[in-house]
Amino acid sequence: MFARGPSITARLVLLVLVSVGLMTLDHREGVLQPVRYTLSALIYPVHLTAELPSMVQRLFAREVRDRRDLLAEIDRLRDKLLLNRARLQKLDALEVENIRLRKLLDASYEVGESVLIAELMRVDFDPHTHLVRIDKGATDGLFAGQPVLDAEGVVGQVNAVGPFSATVRLVSDPSHAIPVQVNRNGVRAVAVGTGDLNALKLINLPNNSDVRAGDLLLTSGLGGRFPAGYPVGKVAEVDTDPGEPFARVSVDPEAALDRIQEVLLVRRDEEAPHFARGEAGRPGRGPGS
């Protein structure tokens, strides 16, 4: 009733013999290479699908690591840039200070008297008084009325002296006056402050005086307070009115009054016995101021 086939044992032996035969032929002749090649192509999507999560994970980890390293490198370079900028600013400041001190040193060689260099400590912003404080005082030999210069010209004079610091009244102070003369022809006048750091004026100068725009004004030495020959300013404008007895003359100060950081204090031997502690007599009251 039922067809009977080979037994299971016979089948197993047959399959083993066929497998051994195929392996032998494949090893020697490579007869199954096309089959393996085709099967490899067919199951590649399966392998790819199985590897996809691992590949995505590795790619994501690498992107995160690269981004983290890139951000760290950006932060490091930004910090380095800020540091280099700060150093560059410091170098620029040192270069400017070096140039300024070199000019001041050159000016000290041109001054016939011995000088002392002082630095500004404080500036008085009162519009009615132009006073600055310096870091030298009576212990350094300063005295009230002592002339003060910078690399370009006359700054003012010492107004009050303390043990370790002093105040200087600038030539632009309305109460400051200084005898001057025109370098071109020797015409004498008195330059007084206007309350403007960038402007002085000549007072009581007759209309017929030979003073022109561009004339250099030097200290005349009259009054004995300022030595002769120091630059004070240049005539900016001369305005004469026939109905007025005196000309209106405006002067640009030679000293950089709004930018000074170091000053020269003139020390003359003949004035050394007159070193004083205290306040100078109001610097604009007499011809020697």
- In this predicted model, what pLDDT tens digit does every residue of 68-117 receive, in sequence order? 888 888 888 887 787 677 667 656 656 666 766 666 566 555 555 677 88
Cα distance between residue 229 and residue 214, in whole Å:
17
pLDDT at 184 over 90: no
pLDDT at 278: 36
pLDDT at 269 over 90: no
Candidates 201, 208, 200, 192; CA nearest to 240 is 208
CA 199 → CA 160, 167, 188, distances in Å?
24, 21, 19
CA 182 from chain centre, in angstroms, equals 38
Confidence of residue 127 (pLDDT cuts 50, 70, 90): confident
pLDDT at 286: 39
Number of helices (H), then strands (E), in the chain: 2, 13
Mean pLDDT, range 242-250, rounded to an integer: 88
**Phi, psi dihedral angles at 61 (to 5 degrees):** -65, -40
Q: State whether CATH 2.40.10.340 applies to domain 115-279.
A: yes
Cα distance between residue 161 and residue 136, in whole Å:
9
Most confident range, picked from 110-114, 140-144, 148-152: 140-144
pLDDT at 93: 56
Candidates 216, 126, 217; CA nearest to 178 is 217
Under 8 Å between Cβ of 254 and 232: yes
Q: If you average pLDDT over every residue of the chain, what do you get?
A: 79
The helix (H) or strand (E) run that includes residue 65 is helix 33-110
Mean pLDDT, range 174-180, rounded to an integer: 92
Candidates 169, 161, 164, 190; CA nearest to 126 is 169
pLDDT at 49: 82
The DSSP letter of residue 204 is S
Compute the chain's Rg from CA coordinates: 47
Q: Who's near 128: CB < 8 A, 6+ residues apart?
A: 174, 195
pLDDT at 136 over 80: yes
Q: Tokens for 260? A: 């000074």
